[in-house]
Amino acid sequence: MDFKEKIRVIPDFPQPGIRFKDITTLLMDGKAYQAAINELVEKLKGTEIDLVVGPEARGFVVGAPLAYALGVGFVPVRKSGKLPAETIEVKYSLEYGKDALAMHKDAIVPGQKVLIADDLLATGGTISATLDLVKQLGGEPVGASFFIELSYLNGRQKLEGLDIISLVQYE
């Protein structure tokens, strides 16, 4: 399936000059959504995975069904103050400012093999912060998977050494 034709591109969102890649059109198409998850599962065959970790919010719509299909647990990564139990946090830089991500302290047992999943790899900031959380809890990152990769933003460089899978690349 050509997933790129299922992704809507919105010019000048959220600001002029940005061509936003909107996956909601892919998600609304049940067959395309299922095919995207199935293709990621296929590409992950042979990889030992205990948990999938996904940052909010779109990491949930990729990570949770991926975890389900793999028969492993899912761990949500949320913005600061959104998780009810004791958390760890990491601050990171955005294009215009700073943010913080949090994960429950008991979400990962040291030594567990962790896959990070999100809808999009752009600059790598959010995924790098998520990776920091995984490592703080003793998880062993085994890779990261995405529906979309914006290759021209060089996010892979921030995640050097991590196996990266993306279904669609924009050069």
The Cα diameter of the chain in Å comes to 44
Q: What is the pLDDT of residues 90-116, one digit of tens each?
A: 998 766 678 899 999 999 999 999 999
Q: Choosing from 5, 42, 48, 95, which is the catalytic residue?
A: 95
Active-site residue, 95 included: yes
Q: Choosing from 5, 58, 140, 171, which is the catalytic residue?
A: 58
45, burial (CB in 10 Å: exposed 0-12, middle 13-18, buried 19+): exposed
CATH classification for the domain delimited by 48-169, as one of 2.60.260.20, 3.50.50.60, 3.40.640.10, 3.40.50.2020? 3.40.50.2020
Sorted by where each begins, the domain ranges of the chain are 48-169
Give the global pTM.
0.94
Contact between 107 and 73 under an 8 Å Cβ cutoff? The reply is no
Torsion over CA of 100, 110, 128 and 67, rounded to 10 degrees?
-90
Active-site residue, 78 included: no
| Spans in the chain with pLDDT lower than 50 | none
